[in-house]
Structure 1
Amino acid sequence: MRAIPLLTLLLSGWFVVPAHADQAQDWLTRLGQAEQQQSFQGTFVYERNGSFSTHNIWHRVQDGQVRERLVQLDGSAQEVVRVDGKTQCVSGNLMAGLGDTSSSAARALDPQKLKNWYDLAVIGKSRVAGRPAVIVSLTPRDQHRYGFELHLDQQTGLPLKSLLLDDKGRLLERFQFTRLDPVAVPTDSDLQPGADCKAVKLVSDKASAVKDARVWHSDWLPPGFELTSSTVRKDPETKAQVSSLMYDDGLARFSVFLEPLSGSGAADTRTQLGPTVAVSRRLSTPQGEMVVTVVGEIPIGTAERIALSMRTDATATQQ
């Protein structure tokens, strides 16, 4: 178990003996409920790889619908609007990690599942954005995922701060409110997208109807990760079929993209920006050379092993 960070000790002002895991499960359950039931507005900072950005957020729960708008305040005005977690419009290139899934995005957490892959504990108290918080840690039980430290608002259960940490306790990503108002419900005007927010065209998933699509699987996955979605689309430039698969352990996610190798070929690559890794590997199949790319917030060694484990279940026929 890693030590409580110095910042947490300074904020809380006292040491707290880790509480029973049941308390952590209760807080995570409350977190999931809060994001589905609690309206709020505020300002938060997002840090990754030494870069900071500041954002305003409006989050309204009304008639069973969760509507959310984020606007980046640094540099050009970048924006995203989501309804029930689905992106409706975007402007600019909102910082990776916030465009589709932010720490405030509606997402169901299953503590009973998470405790199989993480040690859950309440490890102390803190104060964030002028509000008392409870600190919940999720420490991974293996080397294939990162750890989280969540500072949850005592009044509402909302996440006031979230830290993503590697196996040595080093900070990879920070999400932290500087202002949170859970009383003022965002108005229609607050949630109205700006003129530059371009609508996202939803493409219907026809993967199940594509009879000649390759069906891919991984010979190895980190324990707890399951396939949650898969799609097949055509690349608008090459017209080649690109398969994509998303995996999830209930908290961490990664995606796998598979496409035919075109042109003179592509070199194997591995890059990391903060917690996000991208690993590309060439794969030989009976149908020719493929490029496998794994993208997600998982350790780079894990991403490489996943990329090398991808296999096709069926031989595609040519049209």
Structure 2
Amino acid sequence: MRKILVGAVTLVSLMMPLQAFAEEPIASAEALLHQMDEASRELSYELSYILIKKNSIEPLRYRHALEDGQTYAHLIYLSGPPREVIQRGNEISYFEPGLDPFTIDSNKMVAPLPPIMQSDINELSANYDFISMGRSREAGVACDVVRIAPKDGARYSYLLWIDHRSRLVMRADLLDRDGEPLEQYRAVSYVVNPKVGDVLKSLRSVDLPAVVQLPPQPQAELSWQVNWLPQGFESVSRNRHRLVLTQRPVESKMYSDGLFSFSIYVSEADSYTVREQLVRQGRRTLHSHLQGEKEVTVVGDIPPATARRVAESVVFVGSKNGANSTAEKAAP
């Protein structure tokens, strides 16, 4: 009888924090995202998580701290060949097998982190709705669940589990337009502790690769433009270069809305060009088609239907369809 009473008392004690959590008022979805953004940028923490894709599971560990106004971070892949990324202020160093280590000037890692951790919430609010989805548990802690849904339906959405106490992201599901998951970031364990900052401060004295000094790249004047873009996507770079293997000239533009990005490539068609091709692997879509003597290819983190519409809206300067177009236009 005594064991039964002890078990009952234990069960009640475990349920009380969850009940109290359920009774607390939920902050607005946008407020939660701002709190998440602040926590991700300012706390000293270590997060172990897995990135789940259709055919793979990648375990990773991410450490972050803000010390004396400077960001320090360290991402390490926990399986396979040693790979890591180190951030020290506005310098990010990459260590990859088969490549010489290098450092670039940047304040954003190109690494498997939930993109929302490196996005501007205020900018996203113009093109996404932030929807509170209630409360749940993830990684053993109580979480507020928020959906980031596009207003135009022309891109993917995210479902986030945000730790009620620390406001760190415990889980992030990338969903297609049917609500099916394309990939998931799921925390396994985490700790918020100033000692993480003490560990990362040692990066101050680490001898990292010298910053790569790239010559300034003039913004090339391209012979084409895009007549339709999803609302909020803006050009962030453009380039003209030759493919390494074939030396075929290619013109390209990259676009981003602050959460997702894609690139358009235009080149002369050759004997290897197919009339139309569509491939989707996880979050990445590739759509290419022939337009006269040109091959137009769209590659990026957008749905296939959006990639197709962007590709088909490309017009060439001086052509019948593009002669009167003077600027790229976003969807209304």
> So what's the TM-score if we normalise by structure 2?
0.73
Which residue is equivalent to 2:104?
none
> 2:266, 2:203 → 1: CA distance?
37
Structure 1 residue 264: deviation in Å? Answer: 2.0
Task: Please say if 1:296 is aligned against 2:300.
Answer: yes
Q: Which of 25, 33, 42 is the equivalent residue of 1:28? A: 33
SS at match of 1:207: coil
Which residue is equivalent to 1:66?
71
SS at match of 2:118: coil
CA displacement, residues 190-243 of structure 1 (integer Å, 9 cap, x when unaligned):
869x99x988846344133x5xx4254211112232223333344444445433
Which residue is equivalent to 2:132?
122
Which residue is equivalent to 1:103?
114
SS at match of 2:196: coil
Work out whether residues 60 and 66 of structure 1, in 8 Å CA contact, stay in contact via their aligned partners in 2: yes
Which residue is equivalent to 2:290?
282
Structure 2: state its 5+ residue gaps: 1-17, 99-108, 320-332
Q: Cα–Cα, structure 1 residues 92 and 273, in superposed 2: closer, same or farther, change >3 Å?
A: farther
Work out whether residues 245 and 256 of structure 1, in 8 Å CA contact, stay in contact via their aligned partners in 2: yes
Q: Which of 246, 254, 257 is the equivalent residue of 2:265? A: 257
Q: Cα–Cα, structure 1 residues 237 and 66, in superposed 2: closer, same or farther, change >3 Å?
A: farther
Task: Please say if 1:56 is aligned against 2:61.
Answer: yes
RMSD: 3.6
CA displacement, residues 102-146 of structure 1 (integer Å, 9 cap, x when unaligned):
2168523234x4344333122112232233321111223333111
> 2:266, 2:72 → 1: CA distance?
33
> 1:291, 1:13 → 2: CA distance?
59
SS at match of 2:34: helix
**Greater share of helix residues, 1 or 2?**
2
Once the two structures are superposed, the pairs formed by residues 237-276 of structure 1 within 5 Å of their partners are 237-261=245-269, 263-267=270-274, 268-276=276-284
Once the two structures are superposed, the pairs formed by residues 1-319 of structure 1 within 5 Å of their partners are 23-83=28-88, 87-92=92-97, 99-100=110-111, 102-103=113-114, 107-111=118-122, 113-183=123-193, 184-186=195-197, 187-188=199-200, 201=212, 203-208=214-219, 210=220, 213-261=221-269, 263-267=270-274, 268-284=276-292, 289-313=293-317
Work out whether residues 272 and 278 of structure 1, in 8 Å CA contact, stay in contact via their aligned partners in 2: yes
> So what's the TM-score if we normalise by structure 1?
0.75
Structure 1 residue 158: deviation in Å? Answer: 1.9
CA displacement, residues 263-317 of structure 1 (integer Å, 9 cap, x when unaligned):
5232232111112111222333xxxx333322222111111111122234489xx
> 2:73, 2:114 → 1: CA distance?
12
Which of these two proteins has the greater Rg computed from alpha carbons?
2
Structure 1 residue 30: deviation in Å? Answer: 1.9
Structure 1 residue 55: deviation in Å? Answer: 0.8
Q: Cα–Cα, structure 1 residues 274 and 202, in superposed 2: closer, same or farther, change >3 Å?
A: farther
Q: Cα–Cα, structure 1 residues 207 and 265, in superposed 2: closer, same or farther, change >3 Å?
A: farther
Q: Cα–Cα, structure 1 residues 249 and 178, in superposed 2: closer, same or farther, change >3 Å?
A: same
Structure 1 residue 84: deviation in Å? Answer: 5.7
Structure 1 residue 151: deviation in Å? Answer: 1.0
Structure 1 residue 50: deviation in Å? Answer: 3.8
> 2:90, 2:311 → 1: CA distance?
28
Aligned-partner residue type, residue 265 of structure 1 = Y
Query: What is the number of equivalent residue pairs in this alignment?
Result: 288
> 2:200, 2:132 → 1: CA distance?
37
Aligned-partner residue type, residue 107 of structure 1 = Q
Q: Cα–Cα, structure 1 residues 35 and 188, in superposed 2: closer, same or farther, change >3 Å?
A: closer
Q: Which one is further off, 68-77 or 144-153?
A: 68-77
CA displacement, residues 62-97 of structure 1 (integer Å, 9 cap, x when unaligned):
33333332222222233333456875213149xxxx
